[in-house]
Amino acid sequence: MQDTITMTKLILVEDDAGLREQMKWALGEDFQVLEADSLDSTLACLDSDRSPLICLDMGLEGRSDRGLDIIDAVLAADRTAKIIAVTANRDGAVAKEAIRRGAFDYLSKPLDMDSLKSVLERAKRLRALESEDDDAPSWIPVDPDWPMIGESEAMKSIFSVLRRLSDTDVSVLITGESGTGKELCARAIHKHSRRRNAAFVPINCGAIPENLLESELFGYVKGAFTGADADKMGLIESAHKGTLFLDEIGDMPHTLQVKLLRFLQDQRLQRVGDTRARALDVRIIAATNKSTLSGSGEDAAMRTDLYYRLSEFEIKLPPLRERGRDALVLAAGILDRNRQRFGQPRLRMSSRAEKAVLSYGWPGNVRELENRLNRASITCKGQIIEEEDLQLGDSIGGNMSYREARKAFEKNLLLNALHRSNGNVSLAARTVGVTRPTFYDMMRKTGIYIRTEAKV
Ligand SMILES: Nc1ncnc2c1ncn2[C@@H]1O[C@H](COP(=O)(O)OP(=O)(O)OP(=O)(O)O)[C@@H](O)[C@H]1O
Ligand SMILES: [Mg+2]
């Protein structure tokens, strides 16, 4: 038995003394167990200990939802408390409400001790993760030549969390607007984890047609359906010992969500048409840019139970416009990377361009910043990027007429083609399917002048 001083404290809130005794017996080896049976006695168990673990029977003092008041009171006293709500059999509404008010997870009676132990272990890991201190880094390596960058407080604390999450197998849900770096975060976690030598498998759930998604994800056996003429491993299986990145998880059809949930619960997978289940070791990271991911009602993007499984830890990436001077730090990083990758000369932004970058809203976030800088690198004169080169007023939309929108679209297309061809006009013309003279003509009409050093 561990020394009680170093053991994590667990408060059991349960008014059935027999059940409490049983639980204490099952958990006493791993936790220092305190007992309570009411709101007052629960609050009395809280002391200076940070993030206490609490196993809370939701039906106390003769009311099936008395636990909700206890959740409110405990979290008001200590926001970091990890509460596991225990509901009467199939009382889904109370469980949902408990989670909404901030409970860590829920289980229903009759209690399965193994499930309770695994939920408690998870809560314990999370608690350790949250309380560790770090000397907030301002970047985290991802690819050999491209770290994730940010000096704002928000991003620095995300980098600390990413490092700590790497040491665990906690499933992570990353939310944030498009282009904020969700995939980069997922790669960073994988890269720092014990799984780094196994595969990182990204799947965009929105990009695979619904009828193919199931067999893509789960694989199939020969004869499972017409055309299945050999066994095929699915993407989940190919992430064995590695990390599966489920991008745009909100786009996954509900029927598949059920199947995925089953896999997450017991880490066993059945290929389509197979009778055998295979045990797998896969860490799941999911991402979405939809803010209304879970909830009740028909139109909720995700089943609530799946949402809680996937979001043992949630990382909310702030939009670029809320990251202070990070846009400039990122811009410098991007220009430096382009110089190394494409052998571009050393470019920098004028102070007017810098001001414009800081005041622009960046609806497309870091990806938009990259695109604009890539294009500006082609069009700028000399080695200074001017405000005009960034064309921050040129986004399509707003009050544009059709003619203006068309011109902006054309310009965008040409600039992107030029960037991809590294300034080579013949090649760029070929990618958009026009002749070189026509391309020059279009450049002139849309007002693109390329840097004289750029290859033409
Ligand atoms: N903090 C950062 N430091 C460096 N590069 C970044 C950072 N954040 C994003 N990027 C870069 O911006 C681009 C978009 O990032 P990523 O694909 O991870 O975003 P996303 O949130 O998954 O976008 P989407 O919602 O459109 O899929 C990538 O090229 C990535 O390398
Ligand atoms: Mg993405």
In a domain, 3, yes or no: no
Indicate whether 213 and 326 sit together in one domain: no
Indicate whether 60 and 157 sit together in one domain: no
Neighbours of ion ligand 2 (CB under 5 A): 183
CA-326 nearest atom, ligand 1: 1
Q: Which helix (H) or strand (E) holds 108?
A: strand 105-108
Say which ligand is closest to the CA of 367. Answer: 1
Q: Whose CA is nearest to atom 28 of ligand 1?
A: 367
The string of pLDDT tens digits covering residues 131-177 is 555 566 677 777 766 789 998 888 988 998 898 888 888 899 999 99
**What pLDDT, on a 0 to 100 scale, did the predictor assign at position 271?**
94
CA-180 nearest atom, ligand 1: 21
Q: What is residue 281's DSSP assignment? A: -
Domain count, the chain: 4
From CA 246, how far away is CA 239, in angstroms rounded?
11
In a domain, 1, yes or no: no
Q: Tell how far the Cα of 288 is from the centroid of ligand 2, in angstroms.
A: 8
Cβ neighbours of 132 (radius 10 Å): 12
Q: Percentage of the chain with pLDDT > 90?
A: 41
Indicate whether 384 and 410 sit together in one domain: no
**What pLDDT, on a 0 to 100 scale, did the predictor assign at position 4?**
45
In a domain, 2, yes or no: no
In a domain, 406, yes or no: yes
In a domain, 408, yes or no: yes
Q: How confident is the model at residue 336 (pLDDT cuts 50, 70, 90)?
A: confident
Sequence-distant (≥ 6) Cβ neighbours of residue 308 within 8 angstroms: 99, 105, 106, 294
Indicate whether 213 and 110 sit together in one domain: no
Chosen domain end from 286, 318, 350:
318
Q: How confident is the model at residue 296 (pLDDT cuts 50, 70, 90)?
A: very low
Query: Which residues of 113-242 form beta strands (DSSP E)?
Result: 139-143, 146-149, 172-175, 200-204
Q: Whose CA is nearest to atom 15 of ligand 1?
A: 181
Indicate whether 375 and 428 sit together in one domain: no
**What pLDDT, on a 0 to 100 scale, did the predictor assign at position 456?**
38
Q: What's 422's domain CATH number?
A: 1.10.10.60
C-beta of residue 339 within 8 angstroms of C-beta of residue 346: yes
Q: What's 389's domain CATH number?
A: 1.10.8.60
C-beta of residue 157 within 8 angstroms of C-beta of residue 136: yes
**What pLDDT, on a 0 to 100 scale, did the predictor assign at position 436?**
92
Is the model's pLDDT at 443 over the cut of 70?
yes
In a domain, 270, yes or no: yes
The string of pLDDT tens digits covering residues 187-246 is 999 999 999 999 999 999 888 888 888 999 999 999 988 888 999 999 999 999 999 999
**What pLDDT, on a 0 to 100 scale, did the predictor assign at position 224?**
86
Indicate whether 348 and 238 sit together in one domain: no
Indicate whether 12 and 86 sit together in one domain: yes
Q: Whose CA is nearest to atom 10 of ligand 1?
A: 181
Q: State which residues form the domain around 409.
A: 401-456
From CA 69, how far away is CA 10, in angstroms rounded?
19
Cβ neighbours of 92 (radius 10 Å): 13
Q: Tell how far the Cα of 365 is from the centroid of ligand 1, in angstroms.
A: 8
Q: How confident is the model at residue 255 (pLDDT cuts 50, 70, 90)?
A: confident
Q: Tell how far the Cα of 92 is from the centroid of ligand 2, in angstroms.
A: 33
SS3 365: helix
The string of pLDDT tens digits covering residues 54-103 is 999 998 887 878 899 999 999 888 877 899 999 886 667 888 888 888 88
Residue 305 backbone class (left: φ over 0; alpha: ψ -120 to 50; beta: rest): alpha
Identity of residue 234: G
**What pLDDT, on a 0 to 100 scale, did the predictor assign at position 453?**
47
Q: pTM of the predicted model, to two decimals?
A: 0.69
Q: Residue 277, exposed/middle/buried by CB under 10 A (0-12, 13-18, 19+)?
A: middle
Indicate whether 270 and 306 sit together in one domain: yes
In a domain, 364, yes or no: yes
| Ligand 1 neighbours (beta carbon < 6 A) | 148-150, 176, 178-184, 289, 330, 366-367, 370
In a domain, 136, yes or no: no
**What pLDDT, on a 0 to 100 scale, did the predictor assign at position 121?**
85
Query: Which residues of 251-312 form beta strands (DSSP E)?
Result: 268-269, 278-279, 283-288
**What pLDDT, on a 0 to 100 scale, did the predictor assign at position 145?**
66
